[in-house]
A and B are shown apart, each in its own frame.
Chain A
Amino acid sequence: MTEPIISIRNVAKRFAGGVTAVDNISIDIMPNEFFALLGPSGCGKTTLLRMISGLETPTEGQIFIGGEDMAFTPPNKRPTNMVFQSYAVFPHMTVEQNVGYGLKVTGVAPAEIKTRTAEALEMVKLSHLALRKPDQMSGGQRQRVALARALVKRPKVLLLDEPLSALDAKLRDDMRMELTRLQETVGITFIIVTHDQDEALSMASRIAVMDKGAVAQIATPAELYEQPRNRFVADFIGKVNLLDAAIVKQKGETKTCDAKGIGKFDMLTDKACSNEATIAVRPEKLKLSTSEPKGAGLVKVKATIRDVAYYGDTSHIIADTVEGKELEINVQNDSRTGGAGVERGQKMWVHFNPHDALLLTE
């Protein structure tokens, strides 16, 4: 088995005044991973990244980088480099000087600085702007400078702090692809901090979802989406209908649930349950029909359509069940005529297969 490139062991960061930003976190990150720290603002993800870079020191715990505990090593002695949220491109230096800076201050020979800078600029497609000053460049170009400046150091790990948050939507999509491509080309570990779940899901190979300074779940994007471990993760990643349910009967792996506003149905799970649980169903797993659906084990409920939002490829529908539970349903608009074929105020059947739902106990 390969050794993790970064191993975070029981790390905590407590600030004066009793604020705990990071609370006893342990994560192993493997070489060549594109790892994302994802969470709402204030969950401690940036603090954790800054502790990996050395810009903050942990109050407790160890941070192993390449097998060596570097928790208290200053940032200039670590094999990590960071792309800052504000890019932090030096305003008084040209693009070339910016990119070469990290090599110059560590005493690399001028000839080598020149070739490596040129290579790095080539990699981010900025060779033609080498002599520009940052104030003559767009936000996207400045970000590329920041990327080249970090990559030219050939770090073991590249840290990216909300790298796409300041870009406009179109550019953000391009940059996402670009970052994934770069990571594959240079073959180093990327750790990205983001609050944007789409960003994390589309780029990362593994994601740590953080909540209130702790890790809620570490998993691949698909696992996070389909097998969230608890309510927080289910709710934070994508959209979800959370149904409060009482477990009325347990027989081996078959649990009979009574979901409020929906009704009774059986779920298969090997999880140990108490009497209370939450059933999570993604909106695209809910189906609509005008007549009562037939099929063994289907969960079905009558509902009134309250709202239809048209998004082109899909329509998002809000419906209220007879007993007043609000459900969100996503319908693919897969024919050109009729859209979702649903109107406000219409009474319809909402149904789903219990296999597509998830029973959450945390």
Chain B
Amino acid sequence: MSKQLKPGQGPLDYARRPWIMTLFAGVLVFLYAPIASLIAFSFNVDKSGVWHGFTFMNYVKAWHNEAIFYALSNSITIAILSTIFSTIFGAMTALALWRFKFPFKNAYEGFMTLPIVVPEICMGISLAMFFSYTGMMAGVRDWLWPFNLINIIFAHIAFCFPFVAVVVRARLQGFNRQLEEASKDLGATETQTFMNVLVPFMVPSLVAGGLLAFTLSLDDFVITLFSSGPGSVTFPVKIYGMVKRGVDMQINAASTILIVITLAATLLAMKLQAPNKSGH
């Protein structure tokens, strides 16, 4: 008989070895303790770093804080509008890259993904320069809300749509072209085929890509800071400004709301992207 292995000694039992479990726990604490404490202190009674009792007061105060509310509504407006446009542009880009052959297609595909890899600070500066040269930085500040946010919306569309394009393109890769042919063979026109066969197939990736764009837009700081003129403050920028003036638990409350929105959107996106709905 070979000698009996104790629990944790088998070759694949590493998750049961104490030192590895300690390491796992350590990493989790390191990553999530700051966020957990931020959320916990959003329910604290006073603004010292010591726990003095549970309250929802910070949330109520943040809700009634006009500056925070204004910034949040700006952020959500920007996120919704740039999500809609970047989803449309991203889907169009993905379709063009999937469907057609054209000169310099590979180069185009590479350039399209640049906003994903270019450092945000570089993109922010280039956008700031673009808006000042064209006079848009100062030009739009007196426009009616939400048109005074147009610079930020443009900037967000520019860095969000490649993410949508990448997600939609990946989905289209799994499309069975015979579905399209079957639709035409059964008497459908090009437009009917697109609407009845291709769009339903793309829907999960459109939703996933859109939610990705939404979360990216909602919590973007660097690019927004560079492309926003005076007066058009977004939520992350506002929080940054408040932190510089001292700690207030309203910031924690507002941040918690941002975390919840982002997390919900991300979870939904992941669920919709799960590879259980294939087109075969």
Contacts and interface: CB of A to CB of B under 8 A. Distances in A.
Nearest to A77: B187
A153 interface: yes
Contact of A106 (B178, B187, B197, B279): B187
B182 interface: yes
B203 to A, nearest CB: 8
Contacts of B187: 76, 102, 105-106, 153
Contacts of B179: 88, 90-91
A106 B188 CA distance: 7
Interface string A54-69: 1100000000000000
A84 B180 CA distance: 11
A76 B184 contact: yes
A74 interface: yes
A85 interface: yes
B176 A153 contact: no
A82 B183 CA distance: 10
Interface residues of A, number: 24
Nearest to A99: B186
B192 A92 contact: no
Nearest to B197: A90
A75 B183 CA distance: 9
Interface in B186-219: 186-189, 192, 196-197, 200-201
B280 A81 contact: no
Contact of B185 (A75, A86, A90, A91): A75
A295 to B, nearest CB: 57
B258 to A, nearest CB: 34
Given A75-B181, A91-B277, A86 B176 contact: yes
A88 B181 CA distance: 8
B183 A101 contact: yes
Interface in A174-226: none
B4 interface: no
B278 interface: yes
A26 to B, nearest CB: 24
A76 B184 CA distance: 5
Interface in B204-239: none
Nearest to B188: A105
Contact of B186 (A85, A86, A105): A105
A86 B280 contact: yes
Interface residues of A: mostly helix, strand, loop or mixed? loop
Contacts of B279: 91
A149 B192 CA distance: 17
Given A88-B176, A91-B278, A81 B183 contact: no
A76 B183 CA distance: 8
Nearest to B195: A105
A74 B184 contact: yes
B101 to A, nearest CB: 11
Interface string A69-109: 00000111000111011101011100000000110011000
Which of B186, B188, B196 gathers the greatest number of chain A CB atoms within 10 Å? Answer: B186
A91 B280 contact: yes
A76 B188 contact: yes
A335 B159 CA distance: 81
Contacts of B185: 53-55, 75-76, 80-82, 150
A102 B192 CA distance: 11
Given A90-B197, A105-B196, A153-B187, A82 B182 contact: yes
A95 to B, nearest CB: 15
A91 B277 CA distance: 8
A92 B196 CA distance: 10
Given A76-B188, A76-B189, A102-B187, A86 B181 contact: no
Contacts of B189: 76, 105
A85 B200 CA distance: 22
A261 B263 CA distance: 81
Nearest to B200: A92
B171 to A, nearest CB: 13
A76 B193 CA distance: 11
Contacts of A53: 185
Contacts of A88: 176, 178-179, 181-182
Chain A to chain B: the 10 pairs with minimum beta-carbon distance, closest first: A102-B186, A88-B182, A88-B178, A105-B188, A106-B187, A92-B200, A84-B178, A75-B184, A75-B185, A76-B187
10 contacts: A86-B178, A88-B179, A88-B181, A90-B183, A91-B277, A101-B183, A105-B183, A105-B187, A146-B182, A149-B182
Interface of A: 53-55, 74-76, 80-82, 84-86, 88, 90-92, 101-102, 105-106, 146, 149-150, 153
